[in-house]
Amino acid sequence: MSPACKIEREMLEIVQDEMVMKDRIAAVLADGPKTRPEIAEAMEHSCYEVTIWLFAMRRYGDVEETGRPDVDGYFKYELVASKDAAAEGGE
């Protein structure tokens, strides 16, 4: 396991940070799509923790994969337009 994906905290601690980190990940992705390692580097957190937070966001429809994976097998993730913004644009 690479140092960037080193497990340093217990799962409960990581999950408790989910709501705060959701906003921070959204801020990182506001600049454009990024892979999990790129997000982890920008946030200065481990890839393992970012994966948990990012997949929670994916589960709730806040982010989605774009295109095909890169040479290392990582997909880029981007923010999904909110349903409220889509509804306003459709009127």
Average confidence (pLDDT) over 1-10: 62
Average confidence (pLDDT) over 73-89: 75
Tell me the DSSP string of the chain: --GGG---S-HHHHHHTHHHHHHHHHHHHTTS-EEHHHHHHHHTS-HHHHHHHHHHHHHTTSEEEESS--TTSPPEEEEPPPHHHHHHHH-
What pLDDT, in 10s, does the model give residues 15-64? 888 888 999 999 999 999 999 999 999 999 999 999 999 999 999 999 99
* pLDDT surpassing 50 at residue 1: no
> pLDDT at position 9, please?
81
Instruction: Sketch out the chain's domains with CATH numbers.
Output: 3-90 (1.10.10.10)
Average confidence (pLDDT) over 53-77: 94
* pLDDT surpassing 70 at residue 83: no
